Structure 1
């Protein structure tokens, strides 16, 4: 299966993954410090939720169509977010900027993660929190969401190897019902991670 054309997917009037924030993120959002970087943000559901909690949120995605919908969703809910259209393969945030980083279903090839994940650690301030949820390799074949290529899926081991410099608060593979629009619906195997930056880097 070829990867989605994200501008095409987000061009439909409805929101591909709904307008409500990811439930794992909502459960732990109070851990995040200001400001927050949200990667692979898509149509804005998570960024808008975090902005509604008073956080300054910078939303990054490679789809200009998705981020345009994100900006409209923010306006409709009377909050402000900033957006940036960027290919995560080339995205290089400044060091020591963010108190929180959010990665929700950012299914990237391992070659891109190898470049990006160290940069996400570096862009966090000491004490900053990273919250991640993604489909696990055991999600393959379920038909409830996510890519079919195992290189795009995570395991606990991949997270431990790739997110160096963070103290693990939570790392688990679990099954849960994911109900996020028509593309993420049903019982799913996911990796959930929360890490804290403990040193300057």
Structure 2
């Protein structure tokens, strides 16, 4: 899929509002929390987090995504660090962030997903939290978005082994109705995983 082409045009493919998971679970981080959000697309989650007072670093390879994210941030009067690079090349600095968010990065096959999850674990500060949100393997029965490749879809058991010894705050496979622009619309099967790294910041 050509994501540069997908994000071209004026309409936001996944809407301008944050994912409901982000709004529901990351709203209480507190001003100054350093957040990394990956595969950020057109910036909807990053901009909302910046509006909550977080220090946001976003990773997204597409130029069209960056342009729309910067415009959305300007409309809301916030700033963020935007890194236009792929997750395959990102360095994942050790203990770099209080919070790491991965939302619908389901272009990643099992090999790449394992590399990304290992990087997310490494770059989370002791006592910090990883938030994961995406489509369940059950999503193949729905038409509301996501890949048509079962290995790219999630179960909690496909994600949790990347975080051995971490506190499992949430691990749910559930149904909801998405209303997130033309890209995510209708009944959906979703996965939430929230895990906290051992230790103190």
TM-score normalised to structure 1 length: 0.93
**Where in structure 1 are there 5+ consecutive unaligned residues?**
none
The alignment status of 1:88 with 2:87, answered yes or no, reads: yes
Matched residue count:
197
Q: CA deviation at 1:193?
A: 1.0
Task: Within 5 Å, give how 1:76-115 maps onto structure 2.
Answer: 76-107=75-106, 108-115=108-115
Question: Alpha-carbon deviation of 1:165?
Answer: 4.6
Root-mean-square deviation (Å)? 1.4
1-side partners of 2:44 and 2:165: how far apart?
Answer: 28
Which secondary structure state, in structure 2, belongs to the residue aligned with residue 140 of structure 1?
helix
Is residue 137–residue 155 contact of structure 1 (8 Å, CA) maintained in 2? yes
Consecutive unaligned residues of structure 2, counting only runs of 5 or more, are none
Relative to structure 1, the CA distance from residue 199 to residue 113 in structure 2 (aligned partners, 3 Å threshold; closer, same or farther) is: farther
- Measured in 2, the distance between the counterparts of 1:70 and 1:169 equals 30
Question: Does structure 1 residue 167 correspond to structure 2 residue 167?
Answer: yes
SS in 1 for 2:5: helix
The TM-score, its normalising length taken from structure 2, stands at 0.93
Distance 1:165 1:57, change over 3 A: farther
Runs of 4+ in structure 1 over 3 Å off: 30-33
What corresponds to 1:145 in structure 2?
145
